[in-house]
Structure 1
Amino acid sequence: MKFRELTTLDLSEEQWKQPIPVGPAEELRHGHLENGMRYFVRHCNKPKNRAALALAVNIGSVVEDEEEQGLAHVIEHLAFNATENFSNHDIVEFLESIGAEFGACQNAYTSADETVFELVVPTDDDSSLSTAMSVFSEFATKIRCSADDLQRERGAVMEEWRLGKDSRGRTGEAQWKLIMKGCKYADRMPIGQEKVIQHASAQTVKSFYERWYRPENMAIVATGDFEADKVVEIIKQQLSGATAASRDPTPPIPTYNIAAHDQPRYSAFIDKENQQPSVNVTWKHPAKRVATPAEYLDVLKDNMFNATMNNRLFKVSRQHEPPFYTAQISAEPLCRTTACYGASAFVSDSGYLQGLEALLTELARARLHGFSEREVEVALALEMSEVESMYAERDQIYAEDMRGEYVRHFLTEEAVVGREEEVRLNKTLLPMVKPEHLQAIADRFKSCCSCVVKAVSHHRVVSEELLAEVIARVDQAEAEGSITPWEEGDVPASLLEDEPEPGKTLSEKEVPVLGGTELTLSNGMKVYFKSTDFLEDQELGTFGLRPEIIMDILMGKRVDIHTNNGAYWRSLGGEQSPMDLEFAFQLIYRLFTTQIEPREDDLVTCMSCLRDNIAARVRNPLTSFSERVRFINYGHCYYFEPPTLPELDHIDAAAACRHFSEAFQNPAEFRLCFTGNLQEVDIRQLIETYLASIPEASHPAPRQPSSVTALPFSFPEGVVRENVMANMVMPRTQSLITFPVEISKPGTMEALQETHWLAFACQLLETKLLQLMRFKFGEVYTVAISPFFGAEAPSRQGSLRGDVSIGFSCDPHNAEHLTELALSELERLQAEGPTDEEIRTILTLEARAHETSILENSFWHDMAVTSYQSRLFHKEGDVDKVFSLRQDAREAVREAVTPETMQEALCRLFPNPCRIRYTAITLLPQTPLLAQGLAAIGSLLPSSQRSWSYWATLGAVAAAGAAAVVLSSRARKRA
């Protein structure tokens, strides 16, 4: 049944205010185990042969006592460290052995109100699910809290604590405390207190765990490609016997409400490392559950209000001399008892008050004059397009997304009814939203509604008194009615004034192995398209109109097209719904057929924004580090040098616009790839109408990749070790060890295989270093191995040069030791090789990742794009052959990987021994002058004569120097 044929719901008055039963009834298995633990089990198809599991614990940091601040999070870490039946992170190693990679597939998070453990495991082996549930049984009631276990985990938790103490973290913490002032939530940040993390006793941790980790406070969620009834039986077998360690009665979970206040609170927050001046206003309201149709309708009203206001704010940002660069309205839960409505704007360094006044004035304008019918219709169209997309993909929801829905249902009673029923609910309720409903929502944004106003800057430019004056001025203007109605501009009916004259397809070629079709158009442009059914509403794939006009025309359409100008390639790409594909083609047509002619005021705003960004970059402590890394590793190559303020003064904006227009003018230079839910007849018509009709350019023939001028970069010979000192608000340390890598004979099967050998080598090295640095010594939060070949030109001659870096953060005193540890481990692997078990693990991780990736549009899209860009394609000229060779190379390497061959690869790919050529750059905090003076005075005394105050001073300086920042090629949540 099509979306438009889907019937709406006929809700009775009684049903309107009754909680919607959790469902869908025919698919969901849910209930209580004998011990009080709840369970939710449901089958879904994506990803194939995978299950997403969660143990949700309705306990977070807000229940901690004063001496327990941070223990909810510490216990989350301890779970992966040691339980009754697993020791020294055996759980992590075991789960990785079945393909559940640490970070990506086994993780957890702690918030103020809950702790949730998450796993993604394969289901093609029945034992994997059973073992995963046994792991959850361990987490639920058998986490070990010994002194040794706790000591091993303190370092990793401290690194995570330090990661949150950068400028953004400090700003966020200050905002949290200001909003939550007067409530226990204000002093219960989930990361906790340093003194508790460092010194809490094992008995204190154990007491917290036994007091709160009770089966009746927990739920198991399992979603995935399995038989639901069989999984229910596994849950009952593994978890019904889980009993709390303490025999004391389960204490009730306390509720902490936040008191309302009718007078605004103000803060002019200064952080000298702040890189983005901003103003933020929040309004607190009691949190509402979303369990009934009436409550669901309120959420839809909020969404439409936000969309309509954000549309207005975007247009304000595009005005002549705009009051802010960007601004937005949002609504989100702060905690279990409080919801937050927020308005924020990024401003210039001199635009705090102007930005705040403009932000508040637009909200007052909405209260006074409301919204037009057209604005509401546009917001409705936007919401309805999302609903239609949801319906198109109703049978393709990912297990992890479904898991999240049932976790939220357990924790907050969020309604879960299944996609089709949710679509019918949306289709029923959305047309009920009227302009007066949105106008009423604006009343929640008044200064008397628990309002908190905050300006964030890097130096003193605004005061709390000035912020209060802006509030008073806008309130007075609203009371006097002097704020005029919103003025709507004219919106063109379409992106194109005239339908272009269609071009022709000169030739076509089937690409059977990659599974697509390749067309050559009459203007020289080449198009590849592949139809898939992985996601029914996804298709992967500056435009002559002002952005605000394009936004108006495309409101309610799922279209995103962006451009990129890199070192060697110009590209355009994006995602769009198949039903809106024509709009994407129209944007591409406009891109190639219009010249950029910016208005003077647009250029002024753009240059101002660039100046602010460049100036802000200097305030970042990592700037000097990253610039020094690039300088050393790439031989002062101009491409890696960031722009400076003096260089900005010499920019010819008109020439830059001409360059961009010329870059996207000759269609013959481009090959477009489309992947997704495509109807062949429709896309062929769109291609000829909007792509083949792009006029041929008078430029010379397209350049070949082999003729591109290479960037002048080179990796240093020998060894370079250097410390970069930087002044910081909170000291932080970052280390990066980099090795040169060179792959010979590019464009051959041998080179293709080498890239896979390198991938396996990086996976092995990252796994081993994580085991050592985090799990054995507890001195880092994470380690990342990152290969990079982006500096090399796409030439068919010469070797492919790149590098592999090892990045980690740590206590400043451990930087040298951990650098040596990383070098020694790579040195050991080169000399001794890995074990059979380590090889089995990396092969399993790679295989499991490949199994899921080949079911994604993004895999096939990236495979097509990178195959066309490869040296091998420009040698062979057959993308199908390139794809086949790449797959053959992967299989050949997988079959060849053994401890011995991996040892050979490590010696072949990295400098051998690794210590003969590398760079090791470490960011360290600059010692304050006062501390330098104290150290100098102290050094004149014999050590036996140095006073207690001397050692206390140096100890304090050392403690203040403990900080970290992560440099990671992968996103990792807490675990």
Structure 2
Amino acid sequence: MNMIKPIAIAFLLPAIFQTAQVQATTMHASAREILSADTLSWDTPLPFDNEVKTGKLSNGFQYYIRRNVEPKDRVTMYLATKVGSILETEEQVGLAHFLEHMNFNGLKHFPKNELVNYLQKAGVRFGSDLNAYTGFDQTVYQLPIPSDDPELLKNGLQVMRDWAQDALLNEEEIDKERGIVLEEMRGGRGASQRMRDKYLPVMLNNSRYSNRLPIGTEANIKGFPYASLRSFHKDWYRPDLQAIIIVGDIDVSAMESEIKRLFSDLKAPATAPKREEYQVPLLNANQFIAVTDPEMTYTVGQLTIKHKEQKVKTVRDLRSNLLKSVYNDMLNARLGELAQSANPPFIQASVGIGGFIGGLDAYNAVFVAKPGSFEMGFKALARELERVERHGFTDSEFQRAITTIRKGTEMAYVERDKKKSDSYVNSYLNHYLEDSPALSNEDSYNLYKQLLPTLTLHEVNQLGKQYYVDNNRDMIIMAPENEKANLPDEQQVKTWFKDIEGEQIATYDDKVSDLPMLAKEPVAGSISASKDIAAVASKELTLSNGVRVVLKPTTFKNDEILISAYSPGGTSLYADSDYFTASQAADLVNSSGIGQLNTIELQKYLTGKNLNISPYISERAEGISGHSDKEGLKTAFEMIYGYFTAPRIEDDAFQSTISKTLSMIANRASNPNFVFSQAVMQSLYNGNIRRTPISEDDVKKIDQARALEIYKNRFADASDFTFTIVGSFTEEEIKPYLEQYLAALPASNRKEEAKDLGIYEPKKGFEKVVHKGQEQKATAVLSFYGDYSYNEQENLNMDALESVLTIKLLERLREEESGVYGTAARASTSKYPKNRFSFTVSFGTAVDKYQALIASTLDEINKVKKAGPLEEDLAKFKIEQRRQLELSLKENRFWMSQLSGAYQRNEDPSYITHYLDALDKISVSSVKAVANKYLKEEQLFKFILLPDESK
């Protein structure tokens, strides 16, 4: 069980609030006309992408169409509507989001649930492909589909047309959907939601936004009249508030003609209401709120300083945005260093100047405090902000930030002809909804290239003074209930600010090393053997020290090289007493420097390099994973060599990791999901230390010296390592690095295999009920475990069983019984250390429904066991697999997974070439057979999470 990783912190404004805004489609001069060698025309409007066809129909409906062949034979369509929850009346609260749901439950040309059914038959996945979302100011529908089927392409456009205005809004379907939306709402309840309801009015200055959350209210979803939904649909789903965005492998002219044919007859109501633009007002005052909850697991403090929004419309605006990026990058680098210190003042912290909501931008500074140490975390963050205010940044920090942005710009430009359609769609979506720029690849590259040299350190330093001000500032605190006594009031926060203002604060010391990473170059080895794997255009090399290397050059990206390596062994070779130390050894090394460079020096050394190399030690293996571009390959191989021969665990990195881990686990027992997971693991594995969450005592027992010793032992012999390298290289380009670095790795030819630890689930199933949590909601997890006949065909049958059961469970539990928002079957199989499987169905629902839904789930399982799946459901699985394989075969990561996985499991690396033949062998009878073979009643485990028992 790995130590808890640092939590991913974000500003308190949830993603659901991040609205999309609007833009014009005026064609402007290109960047080459705006910029000459010596002069910048600052106030010239930014050029619009000249490779997209745009237009507006007479009814106001707009369109964006672009041909892009990545991926080939695919097209992505979005319908954007400037209609969200902000437009709802009090009686309509929640109906914008509800209407989004109804657009999947009965359209003019796709009644009832026929839309999902039809698209699944074409290989389109509901949820991951076919989807939609509702925000405050917009609702967006998405449909990625194959474009090589004219009938499917035609019907995809018809779906868009029906979404625009032809929802049927059948009363029976509306009533069924009420339960589904209520379950979506129920699933979101918990500590975060309860605290959000308290701080949101403060954060949004009691504006209309603060009481128009898209999810709505339980009372309104249960009881709104049908007429209210139909009225909202009639008023707002109209052509002057809509646009279609189509990017993919299509004929642009033909697509434009079809759009004109299908969408020109859209009509707005004669008395259409005005589309108001709502704002969050600036109060010209500071605000404070602290909220606590018994189920919150850590303390977050956030400063949000609101400013009038500055839209990016001109070259000057784009330059201003670049300055903000430089500021954010430099300040976050400093905070990152502070978080890596031996006794970090907080768990994590970040700062960002960016967009907010309702016509505002914001300066956000957020930190996660250590338990009982809110003051220390607050002052540490405020001190760094004050340090920048007084002394500014250094020129070396500034140059690194510029280098980082320049590298990112160059990477994007190099890959421009391999850019996925989804990237373009999102750009045009934001152009329509957010008034944000949509630059062509050429213009973006040329503008950034010429603007970056004009930025100055002085301007960046002044930017902080402009945004970090003592006005329109909110201080928001979220914390566990048991931290309440440690939290400040508003006056205390003001006092802390004054304390920092009165401190003597030194300038920042930017420590950079001039030493090379490695003390000396390794003595090169050689390639001793070579073997073609022609079926998958790959080659297996054996190096002079025994290292095996599998190469697959590709052209899927212009400059992306993936690197992975493994060796059998892992933590399985160590005693339980060493387990937590062994499981953390690679992470501790990865958190430190390499060779002659410490952690911070290494991070700065890697500035402007598009690469990442990390070691790992898992239960049954150890290895390396990472990526690089061609320019960074030498450094990447130096890092690999360094992680084998010159690893380190620095005192500061070790103490920092231990300190932050203790802080992160301190309150986790208040989280119902953690308590549930812990109880499940305890019941399945009888408290085995390797399946138990790490405790405070366990963390304190992790031994720094022993961790490094274990790590060195795992990487002491490279002779049993297999490296897999996939991407944009040739064999001749990569060979020098293989010989210089990988063939030079130490080798003693020891023979190791991972140990079978005998950690398996019980042979007989049981039921485990856990009571934890305030909310009236239940979670049910139904799992089957057991021995397995591991082979390619059996695995494929299990995948098919997973798919057909998921289809049936969604139809039954969601659509028929309105009991869940989402559910799915999940199959997992393993070859080593023993052929095993798990098959799980999980869902969340109301406390009074879970037993009936469990019965329905088992009924659907029994139907498959008795009669097999429906032929049409199996056909959906097969076409989805075929369509996904078409895409996967052109992805570097897919090939890395296929090749590396095959070598680790001692399987045929060319299996994928006959995958479709194996897929054709899947039948109703074969899926029925695996269902009966593995989903046995005596091997069923039921895990139920219910609320706290009433006192």
Fold equivalence (TM over 0.5):
yes
Q: Is the 8 A contact 1:41 1:232 kept in 2?
A: yes
How far residue 12 of structure 1 moved from its aligned partner, in angstroms, is 10
- Equivalent position to 2:543, from 518, 521, 536: 521
SS of corresponding position for 1:386: helix
- Equivalent position to 2:492, from 448, 469, 486: 469
SS of corresponding position for 1:729: coil
How far residue 263 of structure 1 moved from its aligned partner, in angstroms, is 3.6
Residue 108 to residue 571, structure 1, CA distance change in 2 (3 Å): same
Answer yes or no: is 1:775 the counterpart of 2:815.
Answer: yes
Residue 177 to residue 11, structure 1, CA distance change in 2 (3 Å): farther
Aligned to 2:802: 762
Partners of 1:416 and 1:606 in 2: how far apart?
42
Partners of 1:546 and 1:275 in 2: how far apart?
32
Partners of 1:49 and 1:496 in 2: how far apart?
47
- Equivalent position to 1:883, from 906, 909, 917: 909
Aligned to 1:197: 221
Letter paired with 2:706? A
Answer yes or no: is 1:793 the counterpart of 2:832.
Answer: yes
- Equivalent position to 2:435, from 413, 416, 435: 413
SS of corresponding position for 2:450: helix
How far residue 296 of structure 1 moved from its aligned partner, in angstroms, is 1.2
How far residue 43 of structure 1 moved from its aligned partner, in angstroms, is 0.8
How far residue 11 of structure 1 moved from its aligned partner, in angstroms, is 8.8
1:373-772 to 2 correspondences below 5 Å: 373-458=395-480, 459-461=482-484, 465-466=488-489, 468-475=491-498, 477-478=500-501, 482-541=504-563, 542=589, 543-544=594-595, 545-599=597-651, 601-634=652-685, 636-697=687-748, 701-704=750-753, 708-726=754-772, 728-744=773-789, 746=790, 751-772=791-812
How far residue 13 of structure 1 moved from its aligned partner, in angstroms, is 8.2
How far residue 718 of structure 1 moved from its aligned partner, in angstroms, is 4.2
Aligned to 2:584: none
How far residue 900 of structure 1 moved from its aligned partner, in angstroms, is 3.4
How far residue 470 of structure 1 moved from its aligned partner, in angstroms, is 4.1
SS of corresponding position for 1:87: coil
1:900-939 to 2 correspondences below 5 Å: 900-911=925-936, 915-929=937-951
Q: Is the 8 A contact 1:783 1:808 kept in 2?
A: yes
- Equivalent position to 1:350, from 372, 396, 401: 372
SS of corresponding position for 1:460: helix
Aligned to 1:159: 183
Partners of 1:638 and 1:323 in 2: how far apart?
31
Residue 614 to residue 447, structure 1, CA distance change in 2 (3 Å): same
Aligned to 1:32: 56
Answer yes or no: is 1:135 the counterpart of 2:135.
Answer: no
Residues 704-737 of structure 1 deviation map (CA, whole Å, 9 limit, x = unaligned): 4xxx3213233334442232211x2334321111
Residues 627-670 of structure 1 deviation map (CA, whole Å, 9 limit, x = unaligned): 23233444654422212223334333321232123222221232
Aligned to 1:816: 851
SS of corresponding position for 2:882: helix
Letter paired with 1:793? Y
Aligned to 1:296: 318
Q: Is the 8 A contact 1:314 1:548 kept in 2?
A: no
Aligned to 1:72: 96
Partners of 1:621 and 1:394 in 2: how far apart?
46
Residue 372 to residue 595, structure 1, CA distance change in 2 (3 Å): closer
Q: Is the 8 A contact 1:268 1:454 kept in 2?
A: yes
Residues 247-298 of structure 1 deviation map (CA, whole Å, 9 limit, x = unaligned): 32x3222122222244432222212222232222112122222222111112
Residues 739-794 of structure 1 deviation map (CA, whole Å, 9 limit, x = unaligned): 135432x4xxxx1111111111111111111111112222111112222335x634
Residue 771 to residue 266, structure 1, CA distance change in 2 (3 Å): same
1:20-419 to 2 correspondences below 5 Å: 20-24=46-50, 27-244=51-268, 246-248=269-271, 250-419=272-441
Partners of 1:730 and 1:146 in 2: how far apart?
32
How far residue 308 of structure 1 moved from its aligned partner, in angstroms, is 0.7
Letter paired with 1:701? R
How far residue 555 of structure 1 moved from its aligned partner, in angstroms, is 1.4
How far residue 493 of structure 1 moved from its aligned partner, in angstroms, is 4.7
Residue 609 to residue 240, structure 1, CA distance change in 2 (3 Å): same
Aligned to 1:834: 869
Q: Is the 8 A contact 1:268 1:463 kept in 2?
A: no
Q: Is the 8 A contact 1:635 1:716 kept in 2?
A: no
Letter paired with 1:710? D
Partners of 1:579 and 1:187 in 2: how far apart?
51
What RMSD, in angstroms, separates the aligned Cα atoms of the two structures?
2.3
Residue 504 to residue 884, structure 1, CA distance change in 2 (3 Å): closer
SS of corresponding position for 2:418: coil
How far residue 605 of structure 1 moved from its aligned partner, in angstroms, is 3.0
Residues 184-236 of structure 1 deviation map (CA, whole Å, 9 limit, x = unaligned): 11111121222112221211111111111111100000001111111112222
How far residue 243 of structure 1 moved from its aligned partner, in angstroms, is 2.5
Letter paired with 1:839? L
Residues 783-827 of structure 1 deviation map (CA, whole Å, 9 limit, x = unaligned): 12222335x634xxxx61121101111111111111111110010
Q: TM-score scaled to structure 1, two decimals?
A: 0.87
- Equivalent position to 2:921, from 892, 896, 906: 896
Q: Is the 8 A contact 1:635 1:715 kept in 2?
A: no
Unmatched 5+ stretches in structure 2: 1-31, 564-588
Letter paired with 1:761? L
Q: Is the 8 A contact 1:262 1:447 kept in 2?
A: no
SS of corresponding position for 2:535: coil
Q: TM-score scaled to structure 2, two decimals?
A: 0.90
Unmatched 5+ stretches in structure 1: 1-5, 873-881, 930-975
Residue 332 to residue 158, structure 1, CA distance change in 2 (3 Å): farther
Residue 334 to residue 446, structure 1, CA distance change in 2 (3 Å): closer
Partners of 1:581 and 1:650 in 2: how far apart?
38
Letter paired with 2:910? S
Q: Is the 8 A contact 1:770 1:783 kept in 2?
A: yes
How far residue 172 of structure 1 moved from its aligned partner, in angstroms, is 4.7
Partners of 1:767 and 1:11 in 2: how far apart?
60
How far residue 507 of structure 1 moved from its aligned partner, in angstroms, is 2.1
Q: Is the 8 A contact 1:267 1:464 kept in 2?
A: no
Partners of 1:631 and 1:172 in 2: how far apart?
33
Residue 513 to residue 715, structure 1, CA distance change in 2 (3 Å): same
How far residue 429 of structure 1 moved from its aligned partner, in angstroms, is 1.1
Count of equivalent residues: 889
Residue 242 to residue 487, structure 1, CA distance change in 2 (3 Å): same
SS of corresponding position for 2:945: strand
SS of corresponding position for 2:362: strand
SS of corresponding position for 1:506: strand
Q: Is the 8 A contact 2:774 2:948 kept in 1?
A: no
Residue 578 to residue 273, structure 1, CA distance change in 2 (3 Å): farther
Residue 176 to residue 431, structure 1, CA distance change in 2 (3 Å): farther
Residues 161-182 of structure 1 deviation map (CA, whole Å, 9 limit, x = unaligned): 1222233444455454321022
Partners of 1:654 and 1:406 in 2: how far apart?
54
Partners of 1:370 and 1:260 in 2: how far apart?
28
Partners of 2:402 and 2:820 in 1: how far apart?
48
Residue 471 to residue 502, structure 1, CA distance change in 2 (3 Å): farther
